[in-house]
Amino acid sequence: MKIWTGIFFIAYTFVVSAVLTISAGCTPAPRTQALFTRGELITYSRLAVIGLTPEQEQIFMACYTKAFPGQVITFVERKRLQEIINEQDLLKGRLNERTRAKIKELFGVEALIMCTYYDADDSIGSKKLRVRIVDSATGAIVGSIITEAADNFAYHCKTAINTLKADLQGRS
């Protein structure tokens, strides 16, 4: 009986070690890359989020608002904004000058937060969130970040927004 118990314990230990080793290699540690911000980012109060599902957009807006509690922020209704964007022949993730001007004129949007949430190429179960904040008048990118972690959209939002905020405050 002691022999079988010992063999079972060794086999169990081997299987658990193998599973932990394999799973550790599948999902990388959370990380950020391609981070930069420009000072004017903090001055924008009318924003629009594009590129996400309605549920993801709601999570992103809540995270953004909580990250900047002293700032008055207004997010523009996505349905009307999407109608204007759909009128254009757009490259993925880009807006031409005419479209940006129309968005600014009709909705007063100062900056567009263009997001893409997608599978990471190098890991199983890992996702990336790319955020680019574009001045609607000039087309200048005033903030950018890419996060990579497990598939947890709220975590990606918090990480991206808090890292952008820290960079704005000179703490990144």
Task: Please give the full DSSP string across 48-117, using - where no structure is assigned.
Answer: EEESS-HHHHHHHHHHHHHHSTTS--EEPPHHHHHHHHHTS---TT---HHHHHHHHHHH---EEEEEEE
Question: What's the whole-model pTM score?
Answer: 0.74
Rounded CA separation 32/123 (Å): 15
Residue 22, by phi and psi: left (phi above 0), alpha (psi -120 to 50) or beta?
alpha
The tens place of each residue's pLDDT in the chain, 172 residues long, gives: 566 565 655 655 555 454 444 444 454 567 888 799 999 999 999 999 989 999 999 999 999 999 999 899 999 876 767 766 666 544 445 667 777 777 777 788 899 999 999 999 876 789 999 999 999 888 899 999 999 999 999 999 999 999 999 999 886 5
- Spell out the domains of the chain, with CATH numbers in brackets: 28-168 (3.30.160)
Angle CA 56–59–65, to nearest 5:
135
Residue holding tokens 């703490």? Answer: 171
Residues 6+ positions from 50 with CB-CB distance below 8 Å: 78, 81, 82, 85, 112, 113, 114, 115
pLDDT of residue 60: 97
Rounded CA separation 49/154 (Å): 15
pLDDT of residue 30: 76
